[in-house]
């Protein structure tokens, strides 16, 4: 921000008021000549309060220094005003920088939203600049992608980022995931089919399918099949299957959603229907 406005920032030391004696003295003067003079007044609108402060501030700035003829306004006109510069043409925009690595679906996961990058950058560590309105992606100092930050939907995909005939991506296909899921069981296959593997952007469902694949390696195919059956019975999303496996719920009898809610432990935030009577 300092570079944008071409100014220098010289912070005072903590608990050292003498480092900024003029600023402290200005606060004291405002308290004496403005706030103290308004302490017995009652204002009913912000506009009337600001008008009263403006008039007293002008009076303070025109008041000559003690033992001198110049006022604060005189010194401002003679010293400060001649060296003032106009503001930059564009206002300063706060930006946050992060590093992220796109997955095999060539999308970056930023705050639970997904933004596409050129598929050739899959696996690379990229720099991301986030502002209130934009997401900009850089690779080795060059901008390679830009998206509106709050576009509708969870995915923001540009057609030019999608691979055409790239061997590394052709290996990952909806048919491959469905064949893998079918080899585990009916429940796993149905959960996989519920992922967005349609013809428009099948890569959007790759993350969830890869997550299921990793769970089968960690917990085994049998437990994954049982966890998917539980998830379909409740029902819930694929993201909850990891929690089901971690807590061992796949080894318990199948519960419906109503039964699962009845088994919630007592908690002050769960009051029940009788609370509202």
Please indicate, yes or no, whether residues 199 and 227 belong to a single structural domain of this protein.
yes
- Of 214 and 38, more confident: 38
In angstroms, how far is CA 205 from the centroid of its own chain?
A: 22
Average pLDDT over residues 264-272: 61
d(CA 257, CA 272): 16
Please indicate, yes or no, whether residues 176 and 155 belong to a single structural domain of this protein.
no
Average pLDDT over residues 168-188: 75
In angstroms, how far is CA 266 from the centroid of its own chain?
A: 34
Please indicate, yes or no, whether residues 114 and 142 belong to a single structural domain of this protein.
yes
> Is the pLDDT confidence value at 261 over 50?
no
Whole-number pLDDT of residue 216: 87
- Of 111 and 46, more confident: 46
* Domain assignment of residue 217, yes or no: yes
Q: Which of 55, 83, 111 is the last residue of a domain?
A: 83
> Is the pLDDT confidence value at 259 over 80?
no
What is the side-by-side strand order in the sheet with 113-116?
A: 107-110, 113-116, 155-156
d(CA 223, CA 216): 8
Q: Which of 48, 83, 118 is the last residue of a domain?
A: 83
Q: What is the pLDDT of residues 118-127, one digit of tens each?
A: 989 998 999 9
Please indicate, yes or no, whether residues 37 and 115 belong to a single structural domain of this protein.
no
d(CA 70, CA 62): 8
Q: Is pTM, for the whole model, over 0.85? A: no
> Is the pLDDT confidence value at 255 over 70?
no
Range 255-262 contact pairs with CB under 8 angstroms and sequence separation of 24 or more: 255/230, 260/234
Please indicate, yes or no, whether residues 100 and 129 belong to a single structural domain of this protein.
yes
Whole-number pLDDT of residue 200: 53
Average pLDDT over residues 78-87: 94
Please indicate, yes or no, whether residues 240 and 189 belong to a single structural domain of this protein.
yes
d(CA 106, CA 120): 8
Please indicate, yes or no, whether residues 193 and 133 belong to a single structural domain of this protein.
no
How many structural domains is the chain composed of?
A: 3
Average pLDDT over residues 153-166: 75
The CA-atom distances, in angstroms, between 195 and each of 103, 112, 182, 208 are 17, 16, 14, 7
Residue 87 neighbours by CB under 8 Å, 6+ apart:
5
Q: Which of 120, 135, 161 is the last residue of a domain?
A: 161
d(CA 44, CA 199): 63
* Domain assignment of residue 9, yes or no: yes
* Domain assignment of residue 166, yes or no: no
Give residue 33's domain range.
Answer: 2-83
261: enclosing H helix or E strand: helix 257-262
Give me the residue label for tokens 């930059």.
88
Whole-number pLDDT of residue 253: 80
* Domain assignment of residue 156, yes or no: yes
Whole-number pLDDT of residue 56: 95
How sure is the predictor about 162, in pLDDT bands with cuts at 50, 70 and 90? confident
Whole-number pLDDT of residue 170: 47
Average pLDDT of the residues of the chain: 83
d(CA 177, CA 189): 9
* Domain assignment of residue 139, yes or no: yes
Whole-number pLDDT of residue 146: 95
Give me the residue label for tokens 């005003």.
81
How sure is the predictor about 81, in pLDDT bands with cuts at 50, 70 and 90? very high
Whole-number pLDDT of residue 277: 53
Please indicate, yes or no, whether residues 199 and 239 belong to a single structural domain of this protein.
yes
Average pLDDT over residues 102-116: 88
Q: What is the pLDDT of residues 42-78, one digit of tens each?
A: 999 999 999 999 999 999 999 998 888 999 999 999 9
d(CA 4, CA 80): 20
Please indicate, yes or no, whether residues 182 and 248 belong to a single structural domain of this protein.
yes
* Domain assignment of residue 91, yes or no: no
In angstroms, how far is CA 193 from the centroid of its own chain?
A: 30
Q: What is the pLDDT of residues 16-34, one digit of tens each?
A: 888 889 888 889 989 999 9
Please indicate, yes or no, whether residues 193 and 142 belong to a single structural domain of this protein.
no
* Domain assignment of residue 21, yes or no: yes
Q: Are 238 and 194 in contact (CB under 8 A)?
A: yes
Whole-number pLDDT of residue 168: 45
How sure is the predictor about 258, in pLDDT bands with cuts at 50, 70 and 90? very low
């Amino acid at each position: 921000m300092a570079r944008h406005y071409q100014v220098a920032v010289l912070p005072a030391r903590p608990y050292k008021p003498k480092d900024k004696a003029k600023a402290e003295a200005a606060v004291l003067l405002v308290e004496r000549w403005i706030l103290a003079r308004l302490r017995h007044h009652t204002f009913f609108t912000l506009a009337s309060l600001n008008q009263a402060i403006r008039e007293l501030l002008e009076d303070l700035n025109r008041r000559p220094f003690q033992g001198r003829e110049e006022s604060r306004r005189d010194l401002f006109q003679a010293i400060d005003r001649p060296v003032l510069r106009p503001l930059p043409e564009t206002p300063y925009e706060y930006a946050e920088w992060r590093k992220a690595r796109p997955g095999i679906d060539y999308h970056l996961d930023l705050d639970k939203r997904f933004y596409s990058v050129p598929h050739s950058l899959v696996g690379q560590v990229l720099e991301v600049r986030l502002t209130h309105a934009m997401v900009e992606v850089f690779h080795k100092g060059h901008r390679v992608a830009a998206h509106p930050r709050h576009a509708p939907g969870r995915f923001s995909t540009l057609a030019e980022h999608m691979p055409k005939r790239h061997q590394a991506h052709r290996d990952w296909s909806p048919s491959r995931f469905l064949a893998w899921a079918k080899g585990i069981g009916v429940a796993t296959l149905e959960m996989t089919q519920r992922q967005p593997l349609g013809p428009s952007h099948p890569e959007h469902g790759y993350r969830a399918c890869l997550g299921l694949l990793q769970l089968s390696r960690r917990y085994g195919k049998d437990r994954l099949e049982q966890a998917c059956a539980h998830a379909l019975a409740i029902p819930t999303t694929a993201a909850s299957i990891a929690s089901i496996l971690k807590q061992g719920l796949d080894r318990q009898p199948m519960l419906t959603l109503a039964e699962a809610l009845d088994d919630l432990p007592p908690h002050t935030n769960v009051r029940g229907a009788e609370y509202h009577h």
